[in-house]
Amino acid sequence: MSISRRQFLAVSAAGVASLPALGNIWAQEEGKRNQPNILFLVTDDQRFDALACAGNSAIRTPHIDKLAKTGVVFTNTICQGTACVPSRASMLTASYPHNNGVYSNQCAAMHPTQWTFPRALQETGYYTAIFGKSHFQVL
């Protein structure tokens, strides 16, 4: 099935637009109204300076720049895995690939008892979701 970038963005935007309403409903049901929203954005194959908020004057990224001004930007980080899936798994688990078991893009299964920060958020009452690329699974 072929889908254009515009079609993909329209469908994604519609789905994402409904999340705040769902979040408000869940928060009211759970009685947890004052938790801050957390949005963790990760991009692939991007240099450290590929955003205007990172000092690049040749690139215009107004929406990400606005998020950066009101949020937290990690400016002193390193990549734990050389391939994208082990790197993503390291971010989610706060653990090296040799500790979380995700060594390559083909071996992307984590043990169900592996600590992850989305699970830690869930344990404090947050509802979590992953949109876009993840390419890993729990055994």
Residues with a known catalytic role: 84, 135
Residue 84 three-state SS: helix
Euclidean distance between the first and final Cα of the chain, in Å?
29
Rounded CA-CA distance 113/138 in Å is 9
DSSP 3-state of 123 = helix
CA distance 104 to 97: 9
Please tell me whether residue 48 adopts helix, strand or coil conformation.
Answer: coil
